[in-house]
Structure 1
Amino acid sequence: MPGLDRLRLKWVVLVQLVVTVLMVGMIWTVHVVHYDLFPLVGADSWDAYEHAHVDRIGKVLFGPWLIEGLCVLVLLLAHPKRMRIAALISAFLMLFILIDTAAFSAPAHGVLLNHWDQSTYDRLMTVNLIRAWLWTAKGAVAVWMMVEVMRRGPNAETGEL
């Protein structure tokens, strides 16, 4: 990526840290509050509730998730020396999160959009807990990257990291 060496990656790392921590908070809130309360909604309100949940949560999560993914991509392409391993770990965690979401969480919500199903809900709780821990690990990696930037000083360029 031409000119990327001149980009002060501290800002990319900072943005990634902010949106990753935001996503960590959101995933745990969804897991502990929203998903945990699903069984209390009731059959009469379930369809409307699940449709509204999927629609609204998607709108809330799309922006931060996209920004976080773009930050990881920039860090991978920039190859900052001291962050190469952290960027690779972050990318693999994102890959596992995407696989978990596409292969398990989204299909579970597809079933739940049609009707309440206890076994689908139980699977959703399990796979979402895995996803929450993956995001938590991703948050720790984002903190690690920010610490690396801070160690080198606020004006560190790509080659110095």
Structure 2
Amino acid sequence: MVEDEVMTAMGTAVEQGRAGDRAGARRALTELWDTVGDQGDALHRCSIAHYLADLQDEIADELRWDQRALAAVTDLSDERARRYRDSFQVRAFLPSLHLNLADAHRRSGDFAEARRYLATAVEHVDALPDDDYGAMIRSGIGKVREAVEAGSRGPLAT
């Protein structure tokens, strides 16, 4: 596999955010997005938007980035994804992308859209690997489902 400088820089920014510097990570990822552009490499756009969504302070901004991530995945091929990581399959991205949209819509109070995206996440859950990542997404689907059924707009317990 070829070294992917954008994915490496993205990983560094994501770690920066996980270490508590959300504003710095948001700045770094926004700069990457600006470099890649709206028509750039689909893996880069999908990944950057996916992580940028998690770093937003406002739900409306989070939704916009989640929508960009989902839009970008439609341009992504398995062949391109596997050039970065052999195990990647585009279909396995879908449960997470739809789950994020379901949760953001839930927190914004749009339970109908939350249910719609949640149902789509469930439709693709069979594509998830049987590993910690797959377990995390499956668990997230259950948590968002419970919150939607309860009419909760609050953050999910971790």
TM-score tier by shorter-chain length is: 0.3 to 0.5
TM-score, reference length from structure 2: 0.35
Question: Higher Cα Rg: structure 1 or 2?
Answer: 1
Q: Which has the higher helix share?
A: 1
TM-score, reference length from structure 1: 0.35
